[in-house]
Amino acid sequence: MEFLPLCRADMEARGWDRPDFVYVTGDAYVDHPSFGVAIISRVLENAGYRVAILSQPDYKSCNAFREYGKPRLGFLVTSGNIDSMVAHYTAAKKRRSFDYYSPGGEMGKRPDRAVIVYSNRIREAYGDVPIILGGLEASLRRFAHYDYWDNKVRRSILVDSTADLLTYGMGENILLRIAELLNKGVPIKKIRDVRGSVYLCKPEDPIHYEVAATFDYNELKTDKRRYAEAFGIQYKNQDAINGRAICELYDGKMLVQNPPMPPLERDELDRVYALPYMRDYHPSYRAAGGVPGIEEVKFSITHNRGCFGGCNFCALAFHQGRTVRSRSIRSVVEEARKITKLPDFKGYIHDVGGPTANFRYPACEKQLKSGVCANRKCLAPKPCPNLKADHTEYQHLIEEVEALPGVKKVFIRSGIRFDYLLQDPSDAFFRKLVRDNVSGQLKVAPEHCSDGVLACMGKPSFAVYEKFRKKFFEITKSVGKEQYLVPYLMSSHPGSTVKDAIELAICLKRNGYAPEQVQDYYPTPGTASTVMYYTGINPLDMKPVYVATDYHEKQLQRALLQYNRPQNADLVREALTRAGRTDLIGYGEECLVRPANPARKSAQGTKHRTPVKSGHASSHYAKQTQKKEAASKHSTSVKKHSQGQKKRKK
């Protein structure tokens, strides 16, 4: 077992004259099944193809792209585990200083809009060689899309890149089919019927699948309502059973998205995760300190794919899809056994999860025959009557991993869907989770407390979270532990006003929670929330939505969620004054901030400082979580897509 070639010398050492595929990636080469490049390259290798990795090539000229010579079948191109613009810029559009997917965290190893740059350099080097795009950046930018950094609707990335094909979603079977056709001598321009692929043709060319709709880019880039309508149709056709083709016109060319490829079933997933991964970064990166992105996932296991949670700010519906599939218990246990043999394993499995940790099967039997419902969500605003909530198998899976020799503890860290957990008529798994699988803190994602904002997010009512929180602390007390909830919170999501942010601040104070980190809403391609941000329209029901686009208002909303920080006091006072809530400025127990002028201090409040109310979360928690939470990031993604990306999930 060895790493795939990372340079010409590695290739020649294997006795190859040239590879079948050169896989170009914007990430450092990490051969671990949490990285899309590792999975696709190993799947192709297992099918008999020679794959060489071109990691973070010098993009300033085409010379680096000639490292292996011209590949026999073509180039595979990805920006890496996450979108290159998200990797480089914060929600405030400020340049990041650290890259989790580069050696030593060094910035600047990949270009902005990496897929486009890489494809153009390949064209310079080899002309008409087949180029196939994949990964998160390509998948979520396959249609005309609003780009937050340019603040406009950009063309499909397939158009701008000059590539031949684009694959979206989970690409194993898509690329195996494309490789098979190329290997048979079928020209890349003739490959037009593969599910899960996108291609360009002439408007008059025949299409292999029924078409749901055709849109014109020139209209989409100027008409916001039309753009919202287009996204709504795209969203409703991302199911392999009932999805249809979708077309876009680009000045004499037509882009065609074929319907999705069916998800990998259990036996297929088992085979993918049984492939011979090295489970680490390439040794050439040791001198730089390794690749930081491996640390979160090296001792973690992905047991499922897909998510029927349907959060509007999450891109999973557009990438992995809303139908869930999972690996067998045997497969997961075998991977855990391999982890226990790693030299630096200390006995702790950091996670057995996925996009949502506690999903194992499709939401209902109907999805297996008819696909996901186009016009409703499985869990919000209320759980569907057809929903099947059962954690029995997941609990058994965790127990099997815990029983392995060398395993001291198994944690669940990738996110529990608490509303689904409450739907289970048995609380056996809930009790086990609290007793055995929480590392002092359980991360959950209520996101907000305003039901209006939660509706725009595609989340359940806050009362559901309150019910979950109450039960969590009841069980925690019953098992004799002191454990806490770490709620992910988001400011300025479409639908959120300053008044909603005030409501959340009051809720936080009431529950004794002082968040160390708050995620500003980040509009990224491929989500319904991004369409709301750009158009002011919810694309799933075409109703208007309030959007905070002014930078100062965003600052006010964020400051309210961290109202107790001295540096936020002026912004909090301004927000409260704007909203007519000056009653919350003062020294009373209910107040969020003191007056600006200390001379106004009342006799009542002179010696009184508002205490942290314990509620279910103790004052000890409010004080201690600041250091603990520094490690808990709220990102649709920067945390993971283990199966293709690290995007925040719920």
DSSP readout, 146-203? EETTTTEEEPPHHHHHT-SEEE-SS-HHHHHHHHHHHHTT--GGG----TTEEEEE-T
| Domain ranges, residue 83 | 8-199
Non-local (6+) Cβ contacts of 597 within 8 A are none
Where is the domain boundary, 199, 228, 256?
199
1 pLDDT band (50/70/90 cuts)? confident
Residue 540 in this model has a pLDDT that exceeds 70 = yes
Average pLDDT over residues 23-27: 98
Are residue 482 and residue 357 in the same domain, yes or no?
yes
Taking residues 24-33, report their average pLDDT: 98
Residue 365, in any domain of the structure: yes
CB within 8 A of 142, min separation 6: which ones?
156, 157, 158, 166, 168, 198, 257
Q: Tell me if 333 is assigned to some domain.
A: yes
- Of 63-72, 375-384, 595-604, the range with the lowest mean pLDDT is 595-604
pLDDT single digits (tens) 430-448:
999 999 999 899 989 999 9
Q: Tell me: pLDDT of 617 over 70.
A: no
Mean pLDDT of 62-82: 97
Predicted confidence at residue 598, as pLDDT, reads 60
User: For the ranges 68-72, 134-138, 358-362, 438-442, which has the lowest average pLDDT?
Assistant: 438-442
Q: Which of the 8 DSSP states describes residue 564? A: T
Average pLDDT of the segment spanning 458-483: 96
Q: What is the mean pLDDT of residues 126-154?
A: 97
d(CA 601, CA 165): 68
Q: Are residues 175 and 315 both part of a single domain?
A: no
Residues 468-491 have a mean pLDDT of 94
In this predicted model, which residue has the larger pLDDT, 623 or 384?
Answer: 384
Domain harbouring 61, CATH code: 3.40.50.280
More confident residue, 624 or 21: 21
Which distant-in-sequence residues (6+ apart) come within 8 Å of 278 by Cβ?
Answer: 1, 2, 3, 31, 32
Of 62-66, 111-115, 138-142, 411-415, which gets the smallest average pLDDT?
411-415
Quote the pLDDT of residue 602.
Answer: 46
At residue 637, the pLDDT reads 37
| pLDDT (0 to 100) of residue 517 | 80
> Is there a domain that residue 178 lies in?
yes
pLDDT of residue 626: 36
Say if residue 463 is in the same domain as residue 586: yes
Average predicted confidence (pLDDT) for the chain: 91
Model confidence at 514, pLDDT cuts 50, 70, 90, reads confident
Alpha carbon distance 345, 498 (integer Å):
47
For range 201-206, the mean pLDDT = 97
When pLDDT is cut at 50, 70 and 90, the band that residue 518 belongs to is confident
Task: Indicate if 459 and 579 belong to the same structural domain.
Answer: yes
State the first-to-last Cα distance of the chain, in angstroms, to the nearest integer.
37
Reported confidence tier of residue 599, pLDDT bands at 50, 70, 90: low
121/133 Cα distance (integer angstroms): 14
Q: Report the CATH number that the domain containing residue 454 is assigned in CATH.
A: 3.80.30.20
Which of 165, 199, 233 is the last residue before a domain boundary? 199
Query: Where in 174-283 does DSSP place strands (E)?
Result: 197-201, 211-216, 245-250, 253-257, 280-281
Q: What is the pTM of this model?
A: 0.90
Task: Summarize the confidence of residues 499-522 as an average pLDDT.
Answer: 92
User: Which amino acid is it at 575?
Assistant: A
Question: Are 470 and 614 in a shared domain?
Answer: yes
What is the percent of the chain where pLDDT is above 90? 87
Residues 309 and 181 in one domain: no
Higher pLDDT, 496 or 487: 496
d(CA 631, CA 296): 10
Residue of 138, 193, 124, 207 lying closest to 170 (CA atoms): 138
Whether residue 639 is predicted with pLDDT greater than 70 in this model: the reply is: no
* In the chain, % of residues over pLDDT 70: 92
Query: Are residue 175 and residue 311 in the same domain, yes or no?
Result: no
pLDDT-based confidence at residue 614 (cuts at 50, 70, 90): very low
pLDDT surpasses 90 at 604: no
State which of 130, 164, 199 marks the end of a domain: 199
Is the pLDDT reported for residue 463 higher than 70?
yes
Residue 227, in any domain of the structure: no
Same structural domain for residues 467 and 597? yes
pLDDT mean over 106-112: 96
Decide if 69 is inside a domain: yes
**Average pLDDT estimate for 608-625:** 34
Does residue 274 sit within a domain?
no
User: Which residue reads 């089919």 in tokens?
Assistant: 177
Any domain includes 307: yes
Model pLDDT, residue 644: 41
Based on the fold, state whether residues 449 and 574 are members of the same structural domain: yes
Number of domains in the chain: 2
Asked whether residue 58 falls in the same domain as residue 174, the answer is yes
What phi and psi values does residue 519 have, to the nearest 5 degrees? -95, 120
**Are 370 and 502 part of one and the same domain?**
yes
Tell me what the mean pLDDT of segment 520-542 comes to.
Answer: 97
Residue 267: inside a domain, yes or no? no
